[in-house]
């Protein structure tokens, strides 16, 4: 038995550790076998349970859930420190992806005294039907990670109209991709079209033209309009004309035309970092993004049934 039964006395120095079976007293030898470094008061498996709980909800709620489900008290401040001190490696895809989407999310930074929170952007890259990672103001790490992922020789890249998204996509597959399709997300394109306003008949006609990839004809429909929204939409089409294919044909061929994959991941990350009233210190943003993505990626590092 790893833990002795009855009143058997442990030899040498001992300490108490919280584990998934409750609080236990262990010797130095047992601590080494458990992989407990220094004076860590939490066992490796309980640590994984704590991280999983923190990946899904607030630290306060995670404390309550652990107590209710496991009968183990781990304070929310301890959980907060645990997440900050845990260095989770970026997830590495195991199989090549045929599609990738990039989008930006929002997270609220904690302001100074008497100041409200400040919303800042982070970037999330989603490999379709595979894994995702989020990066906060760290373009070097984002680029390095993106370059290291296995990708299909024919890669479809989707995004909205923001330059930052396409700057990330430029770095993808520089060595392993023979053909890279850059596709402007159809649903963002359609949304921007209807923001122009005016004649519904004209807008529906332009939608049909864009659906078939006829960019010049679509732009010509707004030549008679001089308002700012129409002019801006023409500039938008001209800027992304090489990313506007025949969406109808792509759909028939099974090629993705929408960035719903990454938008779904953004919402799932947001469900953790945008809890009501939540604001974050700058140094705590990357750890919580990394943890949430590891959870969404079903990382074995958060499973008590897998070895780290």
Residue with tokens 């700012």: 228
Residue with tokens 């895809």: 93
> What residues are paired with 135 via a beta bridge?
123
pLDDT of residue 240: 97
Q: What is the mean pLDDT of residues 276-288?
A: 93
Q: What is the mean pLDDT of residues 129-134?
A: 95
Judged by average pLDDT, the poorest of 6-15, 90-99, 190-199 is 6-15
For residue 28, pLDDT over 90 is answered with no
For residue 276, pLDDT over 90 is answered with no
pLDDT of residue 43: 82
Give the Cα separation of 117 and 5 in Å (integer).
53
Judged by average pLDDT, the poorest of 14-23, 54-63, 83-92, 252-261 is 14-23
For residue 45, pLDDT over 50 is answered with yes
Residue with tokens 């945008």: 274
Give the Cα separation of 54 and 60 in Å (integer).
9
Alpha helix positions (H), 125-273: 139-148, 163-170, 186-195, 200-211, 215-220, 228-239, 247-253, 260-273
pTM: 0.86
pLDDT of residue 37: 65
For residue 220, pLDDT over 70 is answered with yes
For residue 297, pLDDT over 80 is answered with yes
pLDDT tens column, 140-176: 999 899 888 999 999 999 999 899 899 989 888 777 8
pLDDT band at 308 (very low <50, low <70, confident <90, very high): very low
pLDDT of residue 1: 36
Q: What is the mean pLDDT of residues 212-232?
A: 95
pLDDT of residue 307: 58
Q: What is the mean pLDDT of residues 60-77?
A: 94
Q: What is the mean pLDDT of residues 188-197?
A: 96
pLDDT band at 38 (very low <50, low <70, confident <90, very high): low
Mean pLDDT of the chain: 89
pLDDT tens column, 73-124: 999 999 999 999 999 999 999 999 999 999 999 999 987 665 668 999 999 9
Three-state DSSP state, 302: helix
pLDDT of residue 2: 46
Q: What is the mean pLDDT of residues 248-274?
A: 95
Q: What percent of the chain has pLDDT over 70?
A: 91
pLDDT of residue 159: 94
User: At residue 144, what are phi and psi to the nearest 5 degrees?
Assistant: -60, -45
Give the Å distances, CA to CA, from 36 to 96, 130, 153.
36, 33, 44
96 within 8 A of 117, measured Cβ to Cβ: no
User: Higher-confidence residue: 161 or 207?
Assistant: 207
């Amino acid at each position: 038995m790893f833990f002795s039964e009855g009143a058997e006395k442990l030899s040498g120095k001992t300490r108490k550790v919280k584990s998934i079976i409750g609080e236990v007293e262990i010797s130095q030898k047992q601590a080494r076998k458990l992989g407990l470094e220094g004076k860590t008061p939490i066992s490796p498996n309980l640590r994984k349970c704590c991280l999983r709980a923190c990946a899904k909800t607030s630290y306060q709620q995670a404390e309550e859930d652990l107590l209710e489900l496991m009968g183990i008290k781990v304070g929310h401040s301890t959980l907060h420190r645990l997440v900050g001190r845990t260095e989770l490696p970026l997830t590495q895809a195991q199989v090549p992806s045929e599609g990738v989407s990039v989008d930006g999310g929002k997270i609220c930074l904690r302001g100074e005294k008497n100041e409200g929170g400040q919303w800042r952007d982070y970037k999330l890259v989603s490999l379709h039907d595979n894994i995702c990672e989020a990066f906060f103001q760290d373009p070097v790490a984002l680029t390095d990670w993106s370059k290291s992922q296995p990708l299909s020789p024919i890669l479809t890249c989707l995004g909205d109209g923001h330059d930052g998204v396409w700057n990330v996509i430029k770095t993808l597959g520089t060595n392993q991709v023979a053909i890279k399709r850059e596709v402007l997300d159809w649903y963002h394109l359609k949304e921007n079209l209807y923001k122009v306003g005016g004649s519904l008949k004209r807008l529906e006609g332009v939608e049909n033209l864009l659906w078939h990839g006829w960019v010049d004809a679509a732009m010509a429909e707004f030549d008679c309009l001089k308002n700012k929204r129409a002019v801006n939409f023409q500039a938008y089409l001209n800027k992304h004309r090489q990313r506007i294919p025949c969406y109808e044909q792509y759909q028939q061929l099974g090629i993705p035309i929408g960035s719903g994959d990454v938008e779904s991941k953004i919402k799932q990350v947001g469900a953790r970092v945008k809890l009501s009233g939540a604001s974050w210190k700058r140094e705590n943003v990357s750890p919580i993004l990394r943890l949430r993505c590891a959870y969404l990626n079903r990382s074995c590092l958060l499973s008590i049934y897998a070895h780290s």
